Each structure stands twice: as structure tokens, then as C-alpha cells.
Amino acid sequence: MSKEALVEVKNLQTYFYTEEGVVKAVDGVDYEIYPGETLGIVGESGCGKSVTSLSIMRLVESPPGKIEGGEINFQGKDLTKLSEKEMRKIRGNDISMIFQEPMTSLNPVYTVGDQIIEAIMLHKGVKRKEARQQAIEMLQKVGIPLPEQRVDEYPHQLSGGMRQRVMIAMALSCDPQLLIADEPTTALDVTIQAQILELMNSLKESYGMAIMMITHDLGVIAEVSDRVAVMYAGKVVEYTDVDSLFEDPKHPYTWGLMNSIPKLDKDVERLEAIPGSVPSPLNFPEGCKFNTRCPLAEGKCFTDEPELIDAEAGHKVRCWRYKDLEEIKARGERIYADQGVKE
């Protein structure tokens, strides 16, 4: 990608100061988002993917949270250094966000129209009547049937998918350049998921905006992302474009994730699983943070933290032994406990 990045996150560190100690939820994360592309951020619960997005919006609750270091460059400004007032202008206008839970992300006491109108009036300074017209148009664009009627309905009268569409309409009502979607489809059933993702893809194209898609679902990543950052324990462990990630995962964690998905073309009696769970952020292990669960961990992995290095052009990985993993893959072996594969 030769284009200039829309958002450039450099060595972002967001810590939470709790009574038990400092939680380094995001600890040195780098990535870029280019105009018009979708960056997927994937990882399991508690790996810091939501906190990164909230850090970009500067919505990390403070206290206890605090952005301790790093830069978030957006249109020549470092978002970490802006005042709250300047930040408010950016939220909604330039960067919008949609949330996981469409059931609660709309205010139950106002009609959906009111809420979109409110957003439009807040940012565009247009009159109520005009804002209402725009709101109806937006509802139409996100594929809500009978928008003239729906605009006067309350959130509880809409289904989950409809509500998520309304949320998208609200987020897009001010033509943002970046849309942060924090697990937008997690609470929806599979068919609705597909519809919403398709909608987001088509809107991305017609609006020319960038999307930051946060999810734990690799299927979603495969469907919408151009590039992917895999996060583990507050760090990016693999960062590449979506095709090479799925074809050639270089980090043992990513590989484990891939193998834990059922595949249509392989008959597997039991799926592979990565043993254990994410270590507590209060006491991360020394060295590579994945070493407690990594079957390849040895020597250096327990003492020194690997850097995010270029394994190939445009394919970064944070692992000491990615080359060994290549060989294992080439031999067709599996690294996670063998559990009887039938070909």
C-alpha cells in the first residue's frame, strides 16, 4: 500500500490502574488503516482489541484507564494529545463507532428517528425537518423497509438486526472517514450477521470510508477485511493481508486459531484447541506472552520478548520460531495435541 495512512497507531499503550495492580490491556500496538480499506482486529476475549478501539476514540474510562504512551495519528493530528473538546468534534464527525449489543446501544425512551436526527443536528447544524429527511434517507440506505414508518418507532419495536442497521445509519449519518465496528455481529444470528456484513461492505464502497472491524470471529474477518492484525495479550502478534493470513499463518497462535475452526473439506473427529487460556494481565509471563500455551516454546521464548518483524514483505509476525513453524507445516504435522485425524 503506497497510499497515506488514514490512521496510524504507533506503540500505543493503554494501561488500567486497578487495586490489584497495573493491567497493561494494550501494550505497544502498531497498525495503520488506509482510506477505503477494512482492517480486521482479531483475538480472544481480553486480548485488548476493544481497548485499542476505545483508545482511538479516547473513550477509555479514566480513571482507571489511561493512555500511557504512543501516538494515534489521524489527519496529521495526534489524537492522544487533543483536548476533550477537540476530540468531541472528531467523534461522530470523522470517526464513528458501532457496538456489539444492538439491544442496549439505542436509548429506549426515544424513537430511532429522534436518535439519528439528534446525531445529524449535533454535527451538521441543520434544521430538524431537514435532519428528519436525511434520517429517513439513511434508514433507506441501510436497508430498512418502510423507513418513513420505522423512523417513528421505538427501539423495542425493532429486531436485533434492524437495530444494528439503525446503529449503522446513525454512525454513518455524518459521513465519517473511519468506522470502528466493535463486534457488530456477535449478538446477531448467522443469517443476519451475513446481511449486516454485506451491508457494511457495500456502504464502505459507496462512502469510501475505512472500517476497523473488531471481532473474535475469523469467519467475519475472512469476509470483510483487507488486512488483519491478530492480537494476543495486548500485543499484535501477526499483521498481514487477509489472504496470506489464512493461507500461511506464521504465528503459532494464529495457526491454532485456524485449526480450531471446523472445515468443510476435512473430516476431523475432534477439533484442535489451543490449551489453557489467556494469562492474567496482572502477571504476564516473561519473554513471549504466548509461551504458557505455545507447544513450540523453548529457551529464548521464556526469557526474551520477540519483536514484530517482517517475515515476508508485508507479513509481520512476533515469534522467535516462526521459521520452525514453517517447516512443521511443510511436513504436514500438527503442533497442538494430536487428536486423531481422519483424511
Partner 1 sequence: MEKVKKEKEKKYLSNRAKIWRRYKKHKLGMFGGLVVLLLLVLSIFAPFFSPYDYTKPNYEGAYMPPQPLNFKDETGKFNLIPFTYGIKQGMDPETWARTFEINPEQKYKLKFMIRGWDYELFGIFKSNLHLFGVEKGGSFHPFGTDKLGRDIFSRIIFGSRISIFIAFFGSLLSAVIGSLVGGISGYFSGKTDLFIQRIIEMFQLFPQLPLMMALSAAIPTTWPPILIFIGIVVVLSLIQWTFLAREVRAIVLSYREQEFVKAAQALGANHLYIIIRHVIPNCLSHIIVVMTLTIPSLILAESTLSYLGLGIQPPMVSWGVLLQEASNIQTIGQHPWIMIPGAFIFFTVLSINFFGDGVRDALDPKSN
What are the residues whose beta carbons fall under 8 Å from the beta carbon of 313, sequence distance 6 or more?
A: none
Touching partner 1, residues 33-92 (CB under 8 A): 57, 59, 63, 88-92
Touching partner 1, residues 165-194 (CB under 8 A): 167, 170-171
Considering the complex, state which of residue 17 and residue 246 has its C-beta at the smaller distance from partner 1. 17
Instruction: Please provide residue 28's backbone torsions phi and psi, each rounded to the nearest 5 degrees.
Output: 80, 65
What are the start-end ranges of the H helices in 173-293? 190-207, 218-224, 242-247, 252-259
Touching partner 1, residues 102-141 (CB under 8 A): 104-110, 118-119, 122-123
Distance of closest approach, residue 48 Cβ to partner 1, in angstroms:
17
Considering the complex, state which of residue 120 and residue 257 has its C-beta at the smaller distance from partner 1. 120
Length of the chain: 343
Asked whether position 152 contacts partner 1 by CB under 8 A, the answer is no
DSSP 175-198: --SEEEEESTTTTS-HHHHHHHHH
Instruction: Please provide residue 341's backbone torsions phi and psi, each rounded to the nearest 5 degrees.
Output: -105, 130
Considering the complex, state which of residue 146 and residue 273 has its C-beta at the smaller distance from partner 1. 146
Distance of closest approach, residue 104 Cβ to partner 1, in angstroms:
5
In what side-by-side order are the strands of the sheet with 65-74? Answer: 21-33, 7-18, 65-74, 77-78
In what side-by-side order are the strands of the sheet with 235-241? Answer: 95-98, 178-182, 210-215, 38-42, 227-232, 235-241, 315-317, 309-312
Asked whether position 328 contacts partner 1 by CB under 8 A, the answer is no
Q: How many residues bind partner 1 (CB under 8 A)?
A: 31
Considering the complex, state which of residue 172 and residue 288 has its C-beta at the smaller distance from partner 1. 172
Considering the complex, state which of residue 65 and residue 287 has its C-beta at the smaller distance from partner 1. 65
Chain contacts with partner 1 (rule: CB under 8 A): 57, 59, 63, 88-93, 96-101, 104-110, 118-119, 122-123, 146, 149, 167, 170-171
